[in-house]
Homo-oligomer: A and B are copies of this chain.
Amino acid sequence: MDQADDQFSQPPHDQESVKDTPQHRDASDDDFLLQGQPEERRGSRLGDTRVRIELPQHPTFRRVKQGVLEATKETYKPRTPLEQAISVSKRVLIGVPLATMQAEHERLTKFKALAVLSSDAISSVAYATEAILINLVAAGSAHLGLTLPISLVIIGLLCIVTISYRQTIPAYPGGGGSYIVAKANLGTLPGLVAAAALMIDYVLNVAVSVAAGVLNLASLFTFLSHYIVFLDIALVLLMMILNLRGVRESGSIFALPTYFFIGSALLLIIVGLFKALVIHHQPIIGTYAYVPAIEPLSIFLILRAFATGCSAMTGVEAISNGVPAFQKPETRNASITLTWMAVILGTLFLGITLLATTYAVEANPAGNPTVIAQIAKLVFTGPLAFLFPVFQIATLGILTLSAETSYSDFPRLASLLARDQFLPSLFGFRGDRLAFSVGIVFLSAIAIMLLIIFGGSTNALINLFAVGVFMSFTLSQAGMVLHWWRLRGEHSGWQRSMVINGVGALTTAIVALVISFSKFLEGAWIVIVLIPILVMMFLAIHRHYQRVERERVADIPIHPRDIHHRFIVPIAELDRASIQSLAYARSLSPHVTAVHIAVNEDEINQMQAVWDKWQQQVPEEEDIQLLIIESPYRSLIRPMLAYMDTIRERHPGDTLTLVLPEFLVAHWWEYILHNQTAFRLKAALLFRPGIVVADVPQHLRHRPKKEHK
């Protein structure tokens, strides 16, 4: 770095005219005299009117090469006490800023990725079996044994979807989320539908899982029940901050509870099955307590049980969305992790279902105790009884952390949409820790809003769940089918891949339809309504950006020689500051008009006298014309605006620059002491195109240097 600094520590003037603009060095200096400001005032440097580039000689910059500097850490140092305070608290909460180069180091190992990206999927084993039982019991206790075959079908579906996604990952190594795959193969609209569906689900997932976690916690510690919403918000904020710390750190934090749940659930299954099948020789389908049927066992009932059970599969798409978050080789690591996730999810789901059937556990319509809690109670008896509360806490942990999958994928999806100009570009910026901060904060804000509106009880929201996931599954799989069809010449085994994805698309489409219909009145309609609204919003944003890109113009010619300047300097009185503003304008153009708005005759005469006196003192080349406008109704703004309109009307080709004083004061209250005419004028000009406003900062001399507010 020292060397680099030395390179540009020479006086820049010599350097630049020698090295910087070789292609222009032979140009006649007259060109500049014709167009630009003459250089006589520089004395001996008369001929040297080269456009210069400044290469600052300062530790804040490191010279990379010709015309390129790199900002050093010095640049980012907080300079005022306020900035320092913000910087320190940010460091404490979020951590030391990371350079863009460090992004590589922030990637996830398979171990952490499994924790972060699978928490949603794995947490669903805590309620999926119960969801099936609750539906089936409508046909009476006689058919509760159907839980097992339905679960097996779901596990089969899980296999299909997993295999499908294992094909997607290498095909889309940049992140094969439903949005990308659907957009690439089916078109923009299906892509946006998939994105909208997923985003809705992600938001719901945060609200529902945090609410569920807090409600569980409050049922353990009843004194907390007064602070439900408060705790909800605190938990969301905690997750927000942890996620703002970056992918890697949040991965470390969230790994523990995920593996803790996986371990204790496996223990439950092993102990439970061992006790039931080996020790007590129970049948796989136990004998249920009698419950009368309230409707016959219809195919619709079975489908509904199946569809609700499919909630076990929410979150399965997370890994293929998150490929870029993996350490290199990304695709390989992601594929392996996906397989592991599916194996763990399948094993746990099958295990819990087997325990439910063999112990003949029925779903409690009140939802408390849950099926999984009943199982744990039956399994962890005698000397193992201490494991029951441990397992409860593990369940609570994973349920809450399933929000983490949303935190991981939502910001990434939003950044992809921002990149493609379907969301504000803000969503694409990486924060201090390289996380997509805006997406994280936005997700938290919406979740908090939902939690406040529903008072921390999100029962109503659970029905909205899962529709979106399966819609995006379907679109993604269908996209993959077309993908393989396109590659039919180049890729051996494309038929096999296409069939797998085809089966996946078909089954997930059926599930999506079943869920939509069976839950339509209970809330799924909201999602069905929301998706097109979101898609229309995406499209409106896109159109806006497109239009801006195409049509963004200033009312200024694009060649300097075509610009005819006209400067207007409003002056309240002829003080030093006004004279400086006038000098500023006059040094740039001979077409300067000072405009004074007078509210009565006395003022006119007074200003005229002061002005004439001043003009007699200044050299010829500084003379400026004064225009006094009498404003009989005392407004200062309107006559000024009318005057500018008039000038623009008469000289439509000219570029008008209004030179305004911007008053710098040390304390906010001092603003009250200065009528903010300049500010109001600026506000009024905001919506009048074509007038350049130059703010000349006015400040008090000898003022103690005060850079903070």
Chain B: minimal CB distance from A284 (Å): 57
Chain B: minimal CB distance from A33 (Å): 7
Chain B: minimal CB distance from A301 (Å): 46
Binds B, one of A136-144, A215-223, A695-703: A695-703
Q: Is A704 an interface residue (CB 8 A)?
A: no
Q: Is A12 an interface residue (CB 8 A)?
A: yes
Q: Is A554 an interface residue (CB 8 A)?
A: yes
B649 near A49: Cβ-Cβ < 8 Å: no
A699 near B71: Cβ-Cβ < 8 Å: no
Binds B, one of A240-248, A468-476, A588-596: A588-596
Q: A20-B625, A75-B642, A101-B632 are in contact. Are A700 and B58 (CB under 8 A)?
A: no
Q: A27-B620, A552-B575, A689-B697 are in contact. Are A646 and B586 (CB under 8 A)?
A: no
User: What are the nearest 8 A-B pairs in CB distance?
Assistant: A56-B646, A36-B590, A560-B587, A53-B625, A99-B632, A563-B587, A71-B639, A35-B621
Q: A71-B638, A646-B60 are in contact. Are A54 and B430 (CB under 8 A)?
A: no
A35, A98, A635, A643: most-surrounded residue (chain B CB, <10 A)? A35
Kindly report which residue of chain B lies nearest to residue A559, judged by CB atoms.
Answer: B583
Chain B: minimal CB distance from A26 (Å): 9
Binds B, one of A326-334, A405-413, A543-551: A543-551
For the complex with contacts A430-B634, A556-B696, A689-B699, 5 further pairs of A-B residues with Cβ separation under 8 Å are A37-B590, A51-B590, A67-B626, A553-B700, A657-B694
Q: Is A92 an interface residue (CB 8 A)?
A: no
A54 near B650: Cβ-Cβ < 8 Å: yes
Binds B, one of A191-199, A520-528, A668-676: A668-676
Q: Is A490 an interface residue (CB 8 A)?
A: no
A61, A67, A685: most-surrounded residue (chain B CB, <10 A)? A67
Chain A 418-434 per-residue mask, 1 if CB under 8 angstroms from chain B, else 0: 00000011100110100
Q: A52-B625, A620-B31, A629-B61 are in contact. Are A556 and B580 (CB under 8 A)?
A: yes
Cα separation A689 to B697 with both chains bound (whole Å):
6
Chain A 49-80 per-residue mask, 1 if CB under 8 angstroms from chain B, else 0: 11111111110110010011111011110000
Chain A 653-695 per-residue mask, 1 if CB under 8 angstroms from chain B, else 0: 0010100011010000010111100000000011111111111
A554, A631, A661: most-surrounded residue (chain B CB, <10 A)? A554
Q: Is A624 an interface residue (CB 8 A)?
A: yes
**Chain B residue contacts of A384, Cβ below 8 A:** none
Q: A35-B621, A71-B638, A646-B56 are in contact. Are A554 and B580 (CB under 8 A)?
A: yes
A565 near B580: Cβ-Cβ < 8 Å: no
**Chain B residue contacts of A285, Cβ below 8 A:** none
How many copies of the shown chain assemble into the complex? Answer: 2
Chain B: minimal CB distance from A625 (Å): 4
Cα separation A337 to B73 with both chains bound (whole Å):
76
Cα separation A708 to B633 with both chains bound (whole Å):
23
B52 near A547: Cβ-Cβ < 8 Å: no
B646 near A58: Cβ-Cβ < 8 Å: yes
Q: A12-B650, A698-B554 are in contact. Are A583 and B563 (CB under 8 A)?
A: yes
Q: Is A647 an interface residue (CB 8 A)?
A: yes
Kindly report which residue of chain B lies nearest to residue A432, judged by CB atoms.
Answer: B633
**Chain B residue contacts of A622, Cβ below 8 A:** 35, 559-560
Cα separation A633 to B548 with both chains bound (whole Å):
28
Contact of A57 among B61, B623, B646 (CB under 8 A): B646
For the side of the interface on A, what is the size category? 35 or more
**Chain B residue contacts of A425, Cβ below 8 A:** 673-675
Contact of A24 among B27, B39, B623, B664 (CB under 8 A): B623
**Chain B residue contacts of A32, Cβ below 8 A:** 590, 621
Q: Is A707 an interface residue (CB 8 A)?
A: yes
Q: Is A608 an interface residue (CB 8 A)?
A: yes
Cα separation A55 to B575 with both chains bound (whole Å):
25
Chain B: minimal CB distance from A693 (Å): 5
Q: Is A706 an interface residue (CB 8 A)?
A: yes
A52, A61, A68, A551: most-surrounded residue (chain B CB, <10 A)? A68
B630 near A69: Cβ-Cβ < 8 Å: yes
Cα separation A468 to B549 with both chains bound (whole Å):
66
A560, A590, A685: most-surrounded residue (chain B CB, <10 A)? A560
A424 near B51: Cβ-Cβ < 8 Å: no
Q: Is A581 an interface residue (CB 8 A)?
A: yes
13 A-B contacts, Cβ less than 8 Å apart? A37-B588, A37-B590, A41-B561, A54-B643, A54-B646, A58-B646, A61-B639, A61-B642, A76-B635, A425-B673, A432-B633, A551-B700, A553-B698
A696 near B701: Cβ-Cβ < 8 Å: no
A619, A635, A646, A688: most-surrounded residue (chain B CB, <10 A)? A646
A560 near B575: Cβ-Cβ < 8 Å: no
B100 near A51: Cβ-Cβ < 8 Å: no
B31 near A621: Cβ-Cβ < 8 Å: yes
Chain B: minimal CB distance from A67 (Å): 6
**Chain B residue contacts of A554, Cβ below 8 A:** 577, 580-581, 584, 661, 696-699
Contact of A630 among B64, B619, B620, B702 (CB under 8 A): B64
**Chain B residue contacts of A579, Cβ below 8 A:** 558
Kindly report which residue of chain B lies nearest to residue A557, judged by CB atoms.
Answer: B583
Cα separation A21 to B632 with both chains bound (whole Å):
27
Cα separation A590 to B64 with both chains bound (whole Å):
25
